[in-house]
Structure formats: structure tokens, C-alpha cells
Amino acid sequence: MSIPFLVSLVDGKAAGLFFDNSYRSWVDLGASKPGTLEYRALKGEFRLYVMVGTPQTVLERYTELTGRMSLLPLWALGFQQSRWSYVPQSRLLEIARTFRERRIPCDALYLDIDYMDGFRCFTWNRKHFPNPPQMLADLHAQGFKVVTIIDPGIKIDPAYEVYQDGLAWKYLLTYPDGEPFNAPVWPGDCHFPDFSDPQVRQWWGDNHQGLLEDGVDGIWNDMNEIALITGFPRQVPDMVTHSKEGQGADHAEIHNVYGLLMTRACKEGQQRLRPDRRPFLLTRSGWAGVQRYSIHWTGDNNSTWQHLALHVQMVLTLGISGIAMASADIGGFSGGPGPELYTRWMQAGAFMPFYRVHSMKGSPNQEPWSFGTQVEKICRKYIELRYRLLPYSYTAMWQASQSGAPLVRPLFWANPEDTRAYSIQDQYLYGDAFLVAPVITQGATQRVVYLPDGLWFNFWTNESIPGGQMVSVDAPLDSLPLFVRGGAVIPLWPVQQYTSEKPVETLELQVYITAGNTTSQLYEDDGSSPNYDSPEAHRLSEFILQVNQDGSGSLRRVIRQGGYTPAYSHQKIRVIGLKSAPSGVELAGGKLLSQGYDTATGILHLEIDATGNFELLLE
Ligand code: MIG
């Protein structure tokens, strides 16, 4: 993933520099000449876009230019289990069954390269998967979605249709003399499609028809850097030629955008072939703007504590580079994590833009039940929390589609003036309200957390803590240090075993009282329609909280956009942080079905029958 975009932040003022040149380039950030940024590229034009403002407005401008993600189906926010590879079919079905038996929520299972027939793209290994439509229907009935991998390498095999067509129609990369370029990948010697040609993209997209008709729910693009395996040549030579939309170009110019163009072909194919569904695509390679087509995982990491720390750092960096949804292989790809590392990784992963375990061929099992009952119990707790917070995460994903704001944000995002937050890379914000400080040190049962200015609440204890200071937090193995910004209104759903298991009948709202005025958003739609932009298909609400010094105040829900009607008819409200029981509670816009103040916890519990606008007064 190569994104020649730089964000600087000095005394609260942010600048974005986008070097729009796809050739190999070098950046020296003051290492050889202090105070001087040096940028060099092999060839091409010098084209620089400059944006200034706050980190937020810089990202808004950058993604206005390079594009924003479209909403993924809701299931993409559920838990996802992958490995290289779940074969044969009986193994995949066993994994699915075990999730349901053990009541560990899960939405998606992945099929890595061994589902194919001799690594030929768009084929099935019929020995291991005798009846894919039947198998997929069976998994769908249990609430699972299935994502299959597709690599760009096309096996050189005269009996293989994709090879025949690609060769006959001259859709493949060639040397300048017209000879097709070939190099080894998993299937042996391969040719590669020229995704910089619109006709090739159309053809490649259409090639997904069989998989989609069989019932595959999403696609996973790998090796699209282009990565080759041991042999000759080691890399695609610069002289290899491309169409570049008919203008002609060499590989030196296209190399960095090849992966992005492949994802474009795949996403557009999904849209054409299955217009009634939102596309799902996960890619390894990409370039500036790949967020328009795909989400991203960071490739082959190791099952080490260092790589857990790196997971956080990389997702933060990718986020401010326009990739609003990125994550890494949870548990680590190569090696085995052991129970403690796996547990810590599963906790942090619950607060990543997407939540996917993946591991390498030959590595020990990495399902949530693979490390004994204690670890399984903790994993279930965090996966369930992920499902509880779906309406919150979904709103954050919608924000990414509107403004480019990533789901995982650096601490300075909300406090650009707070210079102490600038260099913190082992904590992050998740959406507007959460601050996450994962434990990334072996053996640690405590960690130090920096809380930026404002009032914060410990999510587990509801204790309120003033920000602008470092605090030490207890973090036994079952505890992820997690804080909520004062003034936030967090929407929650009940736990489900998968995202569309049952209609949500009650929306829960957790309100964190802080003196002042705050606004929180909630975006709602059916979680699957591609036309979510239309007014009837979605609804945007704001929760406006106004609290006086004496604790009295109001909470209003205001529908700002759209006429979508969710399934729930009740809202349960928990008001956290009141100093004492309110002397009166009044509701406009619905019926107050129950109320109670719990003196032990200091939480005010309310249930109302409103589904839309309401105003709640606390005296
Ligand atoms: O050379 O498809 O990053 O996630 O499991 C390895 C097999 C090829 C690399 C990907 C990894 C995937 C693996 N692939």
C-alpha cells in the first residue's frame, strides 16, 4: 500500500501534502537536511495538492479529492474468522457449527487459496467443495457470509477458460515486443491482467459472476502489489507495458496503482452483477484513493507483541491517509500467539474498523475457543461488546463515507491543540466517543493512559476522570482499558449471534453526563440496501445533551435527515454520572414507561416508547 500523502500538525495547525505521482518515489522528512522535506520521484509530473486546517478538515479535503468509501453491508462490522485455509468443506462447516454451539457471535468466514482448483481464479476444488451453492446456502441459513480470495495471477493452462480469453483478447500484461509477461505465483507460471484497461476491468469484474451466483458474499484481493513467489523474475520489470486507459504506460508508472485498479474492477463487477447488494471487498495492495473500492488489511504480520503494537500504529496511519477501514490479522499471521497475546489482540480488535482473525498455513489454530475456556470466555465478552456497539460503529462507518473521517483516530483528532497527544501511538479514539488504550505489553495487568482535556468515564466502572492527565488503569487479562468522552450518547443493540439474526426491538442509549452542550450522531438504515443515500432509506439523528452545573438539563433526539423507520419501538436510556436522583423527569414525544434511580450505581434508568424525536427534561 503506497499513499504519497503526508499530514503535518504543528501547534494545532494541520497541513496535508498529496504528491500525485505514481512512480517510485522517495521521501526524506528532515533526516538528511533538518527542517527540509525532500521528495523525489523516478519520473512523471510534479503535482502537489496542499490542504490546510485541522486534521479533520485536511482529511475532508483529501478525501474530497481522492474519494471516500461507500457503506459496507452491516455484516462487515461483525466478527470475521479466517485462516489459510479452511479446507475441506467439512472443516469450514465444523468451524461454523462451533461458533453457533459455543454462542460466540460471528458473521463471516473466509476461504483462502485452497478452495480453488489448482489456484485457478474463479474455480472451485470439487474434491474439497463438491457443491458450493449447497454449502453456501447451508452457511447462509446459519447466518454466515462467505468471502473468497482472488489473486491477479492467471495460471498458464491452455485448458483454463480465463487464460484462454485473456490471451485471445490481449487482456494480459506484455513486454514491449507483445510477448505476454509471465512469472511464478501459487498456480505456477502466470500471466496478469492489465487492469489499467477499462475493457479488462469489465472482463475481470464479469469473471466473478460464477462465484457470486454460487452465493459468495464478498471478495478478498491478495498478491495485487503485484507480488511474485520465488523464481524468476522477482518483480515485474519496469518495461512491461500497460494500456493506461488507452494512453500507454510502462510498469514503472502503473506498479503502485495496479492493486487499486484491480479493486476497482472487482467492486464495479460486484455492482454490475449484483446491483441489489452492497459490494464487499478486502484488499492488500492499493494507492491513494483505494478507499473508494475496498477496505484494507495490512498483510502478513507475526504473532508477536511488537506486531500487536504495530497493528494500532498502522491502522492509525492508514486512517489519516484516507483508508478509513483497515485492520491487521488478529492473533498474527505467522507463528502462534499463545493465550495471553491472543486475548489482548482480540480485545484491541473489537475496537478496530473491522474485526478479523487470520493465520498462516501450518500455524496453530486461532479460533476463539483454541486457547482454553478462560480465553474463550474473554473473547466472547469482547465479541459480544462489538455486537452491542454495532449502531455506534455503523454510525462511524457512515461518517467515513461522508467526510473521510477514519473509524480509528489519533488522540489529536478531537484535540488538535493538545500537543501532549501528538506522539501517542498506543492509544486511539474509536469513533467520536471512545478512547481505547489496549494492553500491548506481555504480562502487564495495568497500564498508563493519557486522557486528553475534558471529562472521561471509565467504561467498565462508570467512574468519571478529568482529562489532561496521565492515569494508571488496572487491566487484568479480561479488561481492556476503555473510556467514554463525557457528554457522549452511545447507542447499543442487544447481543446477536450475527448481525441480522433478529429484528432489534429496543435501542439502548447510554448517556454520559457532563456540564455543557454536546451532540452525538446516530445513523440508521437497513444495513444492506445499496441505495442508502435516498431519503426514505436512511435516517440521521442527533442527540443533543445540555447539562447545567447543578446536573439538571435535557436530552433531545432530533431527526436531521431521512425517513427510514427502524424496527424498534422502545428506547432504554441509562443516564450515567448524575450526582443524585433527579427531582423530576419529564418526557415530550413519547410515553415514559418506567423510571428508576439506582443509588448504588448512580444510574438513572428510563424506558420510553418513542422511536423518533423526543425531549427529556431532568430537574
Ligand atoms: O504468499 O493466500 O497476505 O493473508 O493467507 C502468501 C495465502 C499469499 C498472503 C496473504 C495472506 C494469505 C496468503 N497470501
Contact (CB, 8 A) for 322 and 289:
yes
Calpha distance 183→525 (Å, rounded): 46
222 Cα nearest atom in ligand 1: 10
Contact (CB, 8 A) for 186 and 115:
no
Q: Which of these is catalytic: 112, 151, 217, 222?
A: 222
Determine the distance separating the centroid of ligand 1 and the alpha carbon of 573, expressed in angstroms. Answer: 45
The sign of the CA dihedral 423, 429, 430, 436 is positive
151 Cα nearest atom in ligand 1: 2
Per-residue pLDDT band at 234 (split at 50, 70, 90)? confident
Determine the distance separating the centroid of ligand 1 and the alpha carbon of 222, expressed in angstroms. Answer: 7
3-state secondary structure of 494: coil
- Per-position DSSP letters for 425-481, written without gaps between them: -S-EEETTTEEE----STT-SEEEEEE-SSEEEETTT--EEESSEEEEEE--TT---
The percentage of the chain sitting over the pLDDT mark of 70, rounded to a whole number, equals 100
Q: Which of these is catalytic: 114, 165, 300, 526?
A: 300
Indicate if the pLDDT at residue 592 is higher than 90.
Answer: yes
Per-residue pLDDT band at 425 (split at 50, 70, 90)? very high
Contact (CB, 8 A) for 277 and 269:
no
Give, using CA atoms, the residue closest to atom 12 of ligand 1.
84
Q: Which of these is catalytic: 194, 197, 217, 225?
A: 225
The percentage of the chain sitting over the pLDDT mark of 90, rounded to a whole number, equals 98
Q: What is the pLDDT of residues 350-390, one digit of tens each?
A: 999 999 999 999 999 999 999 999 999 999 999 999 999 99
Look up residue 138 and give its three cell numbers: 447451508
84 Cα nearest atom in ligand 1: 5
Look up residue 435 and give its three cell numbers: 478512547
Nearest of 235, 277, 322 to residue 49 by alpha carbon: 322
Look up the pTM and report it.
0.98
More confident residue, 259 or 611: 259
Residue to probe by mutation, ligand 1, list 300, 301, 357, most atoms within 8 Å of CB: 300
Q: What is the pLDDT of residue 83?
A: 98
Residue to probe by mutation, ligand 1, list 87, 116, 223, 307, most atoms within 8 Å of CB: 223
Per-residue pLDDT band at 26 (split at 50, 70, 90)? very high
For the ranges 1-15, 82-96, 225-239, 330-344, which has the lowest average pLDDT?
Answer: 225-239
Nearest of 381, 403, 388, 395 to residue 353 by alpha carbon: 395
Calpha distance 15→366 (Å, rounded): 41
Q: What is the pLDDT of residues 407-422, one digit of tens each?
A: 999 999 999 999 999 9
Q: What is the pLDDT of residues 467-484, one digit of tens each?
A: 999 999 999 999 999 999
**How many residues in total does the chain contain?**
619
CATH class of the structural domain 74-401: alpha beta
Calpha distance 135→131 (Å, rounded): 6
Determine the distance separating the centroid of ligand 1 and the alpha carbon of 415, expressed in angstroms. Answer: 38
Q: What is the pLDDT of residues 426-481, one digit of tens each?
A: 999 999 999 999 999 999 999 999 999 999 999 999 999 999 999 999 999 999 99
Residues with CB under 6 A from ligand 1: 84, 112-113, 149, 222-223, 284, 299-300, 358
Q: State the DSSP H helix or E strand holding residue 7, giving kind and residue range, or none if neither.
A: strand 5-10
Indicate if the pLDDT at residue 515 is higher than 80.
Answer: yes
More confident residue, 65 or 231: 65
227 Cα nearest atom in ligand 1: 1
276 classed as catalytic: no
384 classed as catalytic: no
Determine the distance separating the centroid of ligand 1 and the alpha carbon of 309, expressed in angstroms. Answer: 21
Determine the distance separating the centroid of ligand 1 and the alpha carbon of 112, expressed in angstroms. Answer: 8
Q: What is the pLDDT of residue 233?
A: 83
Determine the distance separating the centroid of ligand 1 and the alpha carbon of 359, expressed in angstroms. Answer: 9
Nearest of 486, 406, 411 to residue 449 by alpha carbon: 411
Q: What are residue 295's phi and psi, to 5 degrees?
A: -90, 175
Residue to probe by mutation, ligand 1, list 1, 80, 84, 116, most atoms within 8 Å of CB: 84
**Where in the chain are the domains?**
1-53, 74-401
Q: What is the pLDDT of residue 169?
A: 97
Q: What is the pLDDT of residue 610?
A: 82
151 classed as catalytic: no
Indicate if the pLDDT at residue 230 is higher than 90.
Answer: no
Determine the distance separating the centroid of ligand 1 and the alpha carbon of 66, expressed in angstroms. Answer: 28
Indicate if the pLDDT at residue 55 is higher than 80.
Answer: yes
Longest alpha-carbon distance in the chain: 85
Q: What is the pLDDT of residue 567?
A: 93
Beta partners for residue 482, in sequence order = 436
Calpha distance 440→425 (Å, rounded): 11
Q: What is the pLDDT of residue 197?
A: 98
Indicate if the pLDDT at residue 342 is higher than 80.
Answer: yes
Q: What is the pLDDT of residue 612?
A: 87
Q: What is the pLDDT of residues 177-193, one digit of tens each?
A: 999 999 999 999 999 99
Per-residue pLDDT band at 103 (split at 50, 70, 90)? very high
Give, using CA atoms, the residue closest to atom 6 of ligand 1.
223
Nearest of 562, 552, 553, 551 to residue 613 by alpha carbon: 562
Contact (CB, 8 A) for 438 and 429:
no
Tell me the average pLDDT across 533-543.
97
Mean pLDDT of the chain: 97
Q: What is the pLDDT of residues 280-334, one digit of tens each?
A: 999 999 999 999 999 999 999 999 999 999 999 999 999 999 999 999 999 999 9
**Cell 450526582 belongs to residue:** 579
